[in-house]
A = this chain, B = another copy of it.
Amino acid sequence: MIQQLGLVALLAVANPASQRGGAQSCQPCHAKETPGIVRVWAESAHARAKIGCAECHGADGPRNHPADGARAAVDAAACRRCHPKPAAQHAASKHGIGFRAGRGCTRNAASAVPSGGECLSCHEPGSAVPREQAECARFLAQTPAMQRQGCTACHAVETRCDTCHGAHRTERALARDPGTCATCHMGPDHAQYEMWKTSRHGVVYGLKGVAEAPDCATCHMPDGTHDVSQGISMDLSGKPYPAKRREQERTRMVEVCARCHTRAFAERQLADGDAVQKESKALVEEAMAIVRDLDHLALLEPAPASRPPHPLSGARLELGPQMLYENLSRPEAIVFRMKKFSYVTAYKGVFHQNPDYAHWYGNAPLKLGLSELRSEAALLRKLRVLEERLEAGTSHEPKAGADATLRRELRELRERRLRGELDDAALERGQREALDRSGR
């Protein structure tokens, strides 16, 4: 901090007076036009360090007043001039992932001209492998207004430090306040704020403050780092990192936990999070397999080929990281909710020590969703049978027979294993016997 303030002071001295003195030339009008802005700036650390309007907004004074106000916005590049270290940490983290610039979206990335270090926004160093598999909503058919208010309002964090710090007060207390994180890290897709708030961590914090219980920054920005990805062992789509990086990140997180807990306890808690993620992901994958099967049987209505084409996958079914939430059939809508809401909530609930989110907002709707999907699939298949019988002019139902029995038996075995009624050997034996019986 002292180092940064040093840099700031240095820069303030180095700048020509015409720029540093921006506040003086702007104030006569802005004290009248936007008195609130002038007042909070005057109370800020920037004002104390004599960083005025021009240092951030540029020095061309009255000419810098475009009708739409857009040019007055200050992006991370301006902040970086005085705060290079946090800006670099930020850009390297998941917060700098490129959603706003469009680099987070595969399609847009293709048309972007990378220059300098920008490759690293999407790719591992020296690799063509994408660094993150972003779930991208930018292809949705929506107005610029919804894009601004619903997408960019959060994803602006990439290039706008004031997303957290505020524009003119730039106060540490505000940037650190868990509510500031909440504005984006809440809701059905990732309710980290709500999870923390009603966990033991959040309750003690509410009672005694950050000295006695962690807030968001304690664990995710330890020692003030702006690399908020530190200690996270998976990419944005929930795919675990390769073993080595995973282990490294886990160790980092355990170090943070160990400031209050024993390492053994922390490792057990985090391992539970891994297990719940794996278990929950398996349910999503089961659901996706059902939908793929329905698609092969041409049972999705409207079918992918008879809907507006997906911007990336065209007329093909898209259930991967680029899945959208519009123009779906009901089975896909069920998968979307399972994957983007319930699955994420189940494991993040564990990682944030909140049993209610892990279970009632995560696990229960995940399993209810799978039940509904199986039931819908059965209904659609029954309809198809009727159509075929009518087509064939026959009243005999085709035999589903052996296959269904085998599938049921295998599912039963897996569930008995999960409940601990079978060990691995008994599971394997049972699977072999079921396969034998089915004549395979």
Contact = CB atoms under 8 A, between A and B. Distances in A.
B374 A183 contact: no
Contacts of A67: 264
B141 A375 contact: no
B408 A330 contact: no
A158 B139 CA distance: 45
Contact of A184 (B356, B380, B414): B356
- Copies of the chain in the assembly: 3
Given A149-B355, A262-B69, A276-B145, A325 B179 contact: no
Contacts of A40: 212
Interface in A164-201: 166, 173-174, 177, 179-180, 182-184, 186-189, 193, 198-200
A177 B199 CA distance: 12
B378 A302 contact: yes
Interface stretch (A77-85, A224-232, A365-373, A426-434): A365-373
A214 to B, nearest CB: 11
B326 A371 contact: yes
Given A360-B189, A371-B327, A383-B386, A350 B207 contact: no
Interface stretch (A92-100, A119-127, A248-256, A390-398): A390-398
A279 B150 CA distance: 13
Question: Looking at chain A, what size class is its interface with the partner chain?
Answer: 35 or more
Contacts of A199: 183
A146 interface: yes
B142 A272 contact: no
A382 B300 CA distance: 12
Q: Is the interface of A mostly helix, strand, loop or mixed?
A: helix
Given A145-B279, A332-B371, A371-B330, A206 B177 contact: yes
B204 A145 contact: no
Most buried by B among A40, A146, A207: A146
B203 A182 contact: yes
Contacts of A375: 301-302, 328-331, 333
Interface string A307-344: 11100000000000000011111111100110000000
Given A367-B325, A418-B141, A264 B146 contact: no
A293 interface: no
- Across the A-B interface, the 4 shortest Cβ-Cβ residue pairs: A150-B359, A145-B275, A179-B203, A141-B415
Interface of A: 33-34, 36-37, 40, 67-69, 139-146, 148-151, 153-154, 166, 173-174, 177, 179-180, 182-184, 186-189, 193, 198-200, 202-204, 206-207, 212, 259-262, 264-265, 268, 271-276, 279, 301-302, 306-309, 325-333, 336-337, 346, 349-350, 354-364, 367-368, 370-372, 374-376, 378-380, 382-383, 386-387, 389-393, 395, 404, 408, 411-412, 414-416, 418-420
Given A33-B262, A146-B279, A149-B276, 19 more contacts: A36-B261, A139-B419, A141-B419, A150-B276, A151-B359, A173-B207, A177-B203, A177-B206, A180-B203, A183-B198, A183-B200, A183-B355, A183-B356, A301-B375, A328-B375, A329-B375, A329-B378, A330-B371, A379-B380
